[in-house]
Amino acid sequence: MAEPINALFGTAAARDGAAGSVVALSKDEKVAIYAALDPFIHDLCGDDRLSPLAMMDLVVGALHNAFAPFFWTGFYRRIGAAELEVGPSQGTLGCSHIAFGRGVCGTVAVRQQTRIVDDVHAEPNHIACDSASRSEIVVPVFVGDRLAAVLDVDSTLPAAFSDMDQVHLEQICAKVGSALARRDLRGVIAFED
């Protein structure tokens, strides 16, 4: 449903041109960016004045703006026994809701393990919210032992995500999960229908 609206944001040629200007980061560049982000994300996850949504919004904003190849960065929050809802996110429009088992996000919600997809166009169970996406990583977020959300990062570059991104994003999602566990999640995250 989001794809036709996303197509309005620019002509395909302009968007492909913009995507073409994004340059892949080297491993060293990524390590340096994750290291620079680490204290900021640590502090905001430890800041108990922040509401759950404000905390998640700032994590998304930090990641999205720090890495030029991140085209869409966002959480899908669990809002029932088997449903995810978009937000907070940055980038073009995401799909509003994803059922467990559908798409890469829904698969990660069921399997509760990170997935990296090097070419989303070759992934039969990928939901194309925006055709400009080429690769993605989806990382589960747990509150205690229960899945509370997934972090979804898409790139216009193929194979933009490595094991190193997985390690760092899993550390960030562990901090987010611990921070969520200390907060009132009513109206934000629900584990049952």
The residues binding ligand SME (CB under 6 A) are 72, 94-95, 98, 103-105, 126-127, 129, 133, 136, 152, 154
Structure token pair of residue 19: 């995507």
Q: At its nearest, how many Å lie between ligand SME and the CB of residue 74? A: 7
Contacts of 71 (CB under 8 A, 6+ apart): 19, 22, 91, 92, 130, 132, 133, 154, 155, 156
Please name the helix (run of DSSP H) or strand (run of DSSP E) that holds residue 55, with its range, or none.
helix 52-66
DSSP 8-state secondary structure symbol assigned to residue 130: -
Q: At its nearest, how many Å lie between ligand SME and the CB of residue 97? A: 10
Distance (Å, whole) CA 22 – CA 124: 26
Q: At its nearest, how many Å lie between ligand SME and the CB of residue 140? A: 13
Q: At its nearest, how many Å lie between ligand SME and the CB of residue 91? A: 7
Structure token pair of residue 34: 């994750």
| β-strand partners of 98 | 84
Q: At its nearest, how many Å lie between ligand SME and the CB of residue 130? A: 7
Query: For ligand SME, which is the closer residue by CB, 3 or 38?
Result: 3
Q: How many CB atoms lie within 10 A of CB 157?
A: 20
Distance (Å, whole) CA 25 – CA 160: 8
Closest residue to ligand SME, based on beta-carbon distance: 103
Query: For ligand SME, which is the closer residue by CB, 50 or 110?
Result: 110
Query: For ligand SME, which is the closer residue by CB, 114 or 133?
Result: 133
Query: For ligand SME, which is the closer residue by CB, 108 or 176?
Result: 108
Query: For ligand SME, which is the closer residue by CB, 52 or 94?
Result: 94
